[in-house]
Amino acid sequence: MKNLKFNLPVIAMLLGLGVVFTQSAFKADKKLLNVYGYNYTTGQWIPENPNYKCVFSPDIFCKFKFKSIPQLGETPSNTSAQPMPDRGSYVPK
Amino acid sequence: MKKPLVIEVICGSLALLFSYTAFSKLADFENFRKQLSMQVFPPAVVEILLYLIPGIELLAVILIIVKGSRLLGLILSLLLLVLFTGYIALVLSGYYDHIPCSCGGVLNSLGWQTHLWFNIFFLVLSFAGLMFQYQILSGGKMKK
């Protein structure tokens, strides 16, 4: 190829832009990540993620659905977040 | 394959990576804010990173596109990838008191380990591109 007439990074950038906007156009619902688990040992709210699990304990709620992020000092006993069926403490796998 | 073509392919891959990540953050800004708040940074830092990360990613794309500033773009890409990879390495080594959500980034449903390999791949690609570009600008030879 003697002279590279096209600028591949420009095409790549437009492709990146196109992929993002086609994806967002076909997205059925904008699912916000608002589920947090509570670690009763450390007293921390952990955003739901694949590296954690609920260690079963029948008396305590493990995960909660928040409208926004948990506030400082918020605990499962004084939260307005909606508890989910999972029971136990949210701990690393 | 000739060096200019290799550089073009490397720069194309990096431009695709950074434009996709930057535009996807900007297209769903609230989700990006949430993903950032799920990391280990204090809220004040989150507010800065919220604009800084997509801004620097887009700057890297622009610098890569303009041939005169391509070397600078490759340096910035390498720097960004070193920072992202370093952060993932710290997460995986247990440096932080909890493992943050691996829900951000390009592969948002996969774990940190996959993110690490993905970043290392682009880190190597970026370094190779930088070396080739430097060789071309310095007349085909590496300075001793």
**A23 versus B90: which is more confidently predicted?**
B90
**B81 versus B103: which is more confidently predicted?**
B81
Can you tell me the distance from the alpha carbon of B96 to that of B128, in angstroms, rounded to the nearest whole number? 31
Q: What tens digit of pLDDT does each residue of A28-57 get?
A: 555 555 888 999 998 888 888 878 889 988
pTM of the complete model beyond 0.80? no
Can you tell me the distance from the alpha carbon of B41 to that of B47, in angstroms, rounded to the nearest whole number? 10
Q: How many CB pairs under 8 A join A and B?
A: 96
Least confident of A69-78, A80-89, B33-42, B100-109: B100-109
Q: What is the mean pLDDT of residues B78-106?
A: 83
Q: What is the mean pLDDT of residues B57-78?
A: 94
Can you tell me the distance from the alpha carbon of B12 to that of B15, in angstroms, rounded to the nearest whole number? 5
Residues 115-144 of B with CB under 8 A from A: none
Q: What tens digit of pLDDT does each residue of A78-93 get?
A: 888 888 888 889 988 8
Q: Is the pLDDT of residue A2 over 50?
A: no
Q: State what percent of residues in chain A have pLDDT above 90.
A: 13
Q: What tens digit of pLDDT does each residue of B122-139 get?
A: 999 999 999 999 998 887
Domain locations in chain A?
35-92
Q: Has the ipTM of the complex gone over 0.90? A: no
Mean pLDDT over each residue of chain B, to the nearest integer: 87
Distance from CA of A58 to the nearest CA of B (A): 24
Domain locations in chain B?
3-137
Can you tell me the distance from the alpha carbon of B49 to that of B61, in angstroms, rounded to the nearest whole number? 18
Say yes or no for a CB contact (<8 Å) between A30 and B28.
Answer: yes
Can you tell me the distance from the alpha carbon of B129 to that of B77, in angstroms, rounded to the nearest whole number? 10
**3-state class of B9 per DSSP?**
helix
Measured between beta carbons, which residues in chain A are less than 8 angstroms from residue B11? 8-9, 12
Say yes or no for a CB contact (<8 Å) between B20 and A48.
Answer: no
